[in-house]
Every structure is written in C-alpha cells, then in structure tokens.
Amino acid sequence: MRKIIALLLLLFLSISSRVAQSDVTASVTASRRTAIVNAVERASPAVVNISAIRVVEQQTSLNEWFFWEEMMRYPRQRTLREVGSGVVIDERTILTNHHVIEDADSIRVAVSDGREFEASVLGYDYLSDLALLEINAEPIGKSARSTPLQPIEWGDSANLLIGEWAVAIGNPFRLARGDAQPTVTIGIISATQRTLTIDERFHENLIQTDASINPGNSGGALVNMHGQLIGINTAIRSTSGGSQGIGFAIPANKAKKVIQQIIDYGTVIPPHVGVEVQPVTEELAEKLLENAAVSGAVGVLVSVVEKRSPAARAGIRRGDVLLTISGHRIRDEASFQAIARLLPLNHDIPCELIRKGKTRQTTLRLKNRQFHWKPSGWGFTLEQPDLALARQYRQPGIIITNVDRNSGLADALQRGDFLYQIGDTKIHSLEMFKRLDAQIRSQRRIRLYFERDGEPQTLVVAFNRNYRRR
C-alpha cells in the first residue's frame, strides 16, 4: 500500500512539474511575442529587395589602347548594380525611391520567400523621389511558384505621435543578396514636418526617426505597431555615411497622392493655381506685415495673379502674403511649390493670407491640371503627354505642339518633336521644364535633346540677357 501511495505521489509531482514548466514556457513565449514582433510579421513579406542594373562604358588604360587595337573598336562595358528596397502595394506593383532605379537598364525584385521577378518602371516623380515598378506575372525560374505578392497595409501618417514606436524594414548594405529576408530596426518617431533638400530635391513634411536607416534601406517601409505603412525610408543625415540616429521617410499619405498621379498620368501633373510667388524679405515684411501679431509670420509674397484663374476667383491679390494652404505652413517658395503640386482638384482648399497687416481666410478650388504651356522667349508651345501617348516613346519627356513662324527655332524644331533633356537635366515632365526655364536668366548657350520619328536629335540654343532667344 505504501509503495502504491509513493508511486502516486511521484506521478503527481512529475505531472505538476511538467505543467509548471509548460506554464513557464507559455509565459516566456507570450512575453517574446510583443507588438513589435507582430508588426514585423505583418509587414515584412511586403518589403522586397531591388537590384537596379546599369551598363556603362569603361575607360581603358594607355597600355591597353596601345597593345590592343580592338579595344578602340569595341570599348569595354561595366555593369553597375544599385541595391535598394521596395514595398508591395498590390499583387504586381512595387513602390520605391526613384533614385534607387534611376537610369537602370534592367531591374530585378526579390521577395522574402526567395522568388525573383523582372520589373519595369510604370512611372515616377523625380521631385518627390518616388517610383512605381510593375513585376512580370511569372517569377524567374521554371520551378518557381507564381502565388501573388502580399501587399502592405496602409497607415495614416497624419496622426503620428512624437515618441511612438516605429519599425524600419529594408535591405541595408546589400545584406539581402542571396537572402531576400529584409532587415528590421526599431526606434521612435523623432519629429514630423521636417524639411530637407537631397540631390536638388526639396522634401517637405518628412518623418524623422531614430530607427537605423542605412544605405540600401532606401525605398523600404517605415511601419507602426500595427504593421501599417506610415512612410517610405528615403534618407539619412550622417557624417560617416552610416546611420547616426537621424533618418527620414516620405509620409505614406503623400506617397498615396503621388502613386495615384503616376497611375493616372505616368508622373505628377500639378494643378493650375494661377499665381507666381517670391520670398518675403525683411524689407517687404516691414511694409506688408504691419500688425505686430503677425510680424513673425513666414510665407510667400504673391507677385502675379492670372486673370480668371483659381487664385483670382478665390480673391487672392498681388501683394498678399500666403501663410498656409490646406493646413500646411508655407515657409518659402520651395515649400509653396511642394505643397501646391499635390493639391486635389474639385475640393475646397482653405488658405490663410495676410493683406495690409491683417490675417484673412479664403477658399481655393482647383479645376484643371497643367498639361499645356507656352514658355516666354522660346517661341513654341509644350504639352505633357498622357499615359498612353507617353508609352510610345523610349523615355519620359514632353511634346512640342506648335512652333511660332517668327521663332528663331522654326527652321530647327517642328510640331511633334519630343523633348527629353536640356543640358545635363532630364525633362521628364512639363513641370521640370518650367523649373529649369526659371533658372535661365543670363546669357548662355544650352543644348536641347529631342526625338523625331524615333531618331535622337540635338540642338544648341542661345539666350541673351534680355531673355530673348537669338
């Protein structure tokens, strides 16, 4: 009897120990599965590795030129590979930074399950540094699976809290080569509405985070604790080239606006507002901002208002100082342009301005986008091609729709010529031409690159100091 009781007691203790151990294991497992882990599991499959391949001619040494005559006839070529990240936004579409795929001859996308796809550029917006890629329906390799990609879930970047957790997901330092699993870093939202100029691109309203963002993270996802996309990792501020806790991401809400325009038009087509602006200097501020309550305000001075334009209908006048548009603070000309180019059509847009020292409110309503423009001093009219027409050309550009008879270019240009570059600057949109045109104010010679009947052409144009072509 005693032996039976002892055996039962041992069995009870053994079972109790196993139950206790199981409870401890379950407790530890539960503590490991944090909100961060859950967010990463939701978002990581939607973050991909991008390899942009560019072929360039390689210069040979003097010895090679001397000993190998064939080098003169057949110059060597070198393959350069830019590695970055991207985010799946639907089953076949990838969002990334434009600088990741700029000038690429071919693009490959590797997803986290190991599959690779060839990709093509659907369209891009140079100024916001965003691009859309479309992958081929079938992955590379005959035995590869063809299941759809997993898209990211969108978050709301307008409601971020300073100090809330943020997770950066991407492929830094080419670590994903041979292993498509992305890298994860954790941090907080350090600030919002940051402004930064990167490679001549002005970014407004950037998200700042201390989550490590390193070379190769560009185009990857910044997500919240729900695994939702709140930003596209774009840049770092560093003295060493690596992460020092100051990274920047394009807000998801801005990316949505750019994506929709790329889908509709192939690039961003700004709305027609009908104003020209200039900086508010200290001298102008003393004259225009008479009220001490607004003397510290920052904005832009309205220098021109087109007749019957949306701005004119909203009651905006020459001499007004614009302070805000659609709730966005205007700091200077660059911020005004960055905000105005993404304003929606057919919506009431609140504006705040100062007139004769008093703050006023008005409502702007935009109806059309800028598809046509006749630049002063050129003698021709330009048009932004629609998406279907743009795909007939080998690269982005704009169309010359008319050349004035008395223009000095009438014997060199004609209707239908496709302009794609001026000097070293690629003209992927009418907006880019307008920005470059504004910089041509002194005597200089510039070279135009255009396409006619599928053949590339060049033309040198000279301007004098009165901004008249000769």
Q: Which residues contact 105 (CB under 8 A, 6 or more apart)?
A: 53, 54, 55
CB 343 within 8 A of CB 326: yes
CA distances from 197 to 82, 248, 436, 454 (A): 22, 12, 17, 36
- Please name the helix (run of DSSP H) or strand (run of DSSP E) that holds residue 153, with its range, or none: strand 153-154
Torsion angles phi and psi, residue 355, rounded to 5 = -135, 120
Q: What is the DSSP string of 109-126?
A: EE-TTS-EEEEEEEEEET
The catalytic residue positions are 99, 129, 218
CB 303 within 8 A of CB 320: no
Give the span between the Cα atoms of 449 and 456, in whole angstroms.
7
Helix or strand (DSSP H, E) at 207 = strand 201-209
User: What are the residues facing 46 on neighbouring strands?
Assistant: none
**Around 357, how many Cα atoms within 13 Å sit in the side-chain half-sphere?**
6
Please give the C-alpha separations between residue 327 and each of 64, 173, 320, 339, 395, in angstroms, as whole numbers.
62, 38, 18, 10, 36
> CA–CA separation, 385 vs 448, rounded Å?
18
Q: Which H or E run contains 192?
A: strand 183-198
Give the integer Cα–Cα distance in Å for 359 and 353: 6
The single-letter DSSP state of residue 311 is: H
| DSSP for residue 369 | B
Strand partners, 454: none
β-bridge mates for residue 276, sequence order: 304
Cβ atoms of 87 and 132 closer than 8 Å: no
Quote the CA–CA distance of 141 and 326 in Å, as a whole number: 49
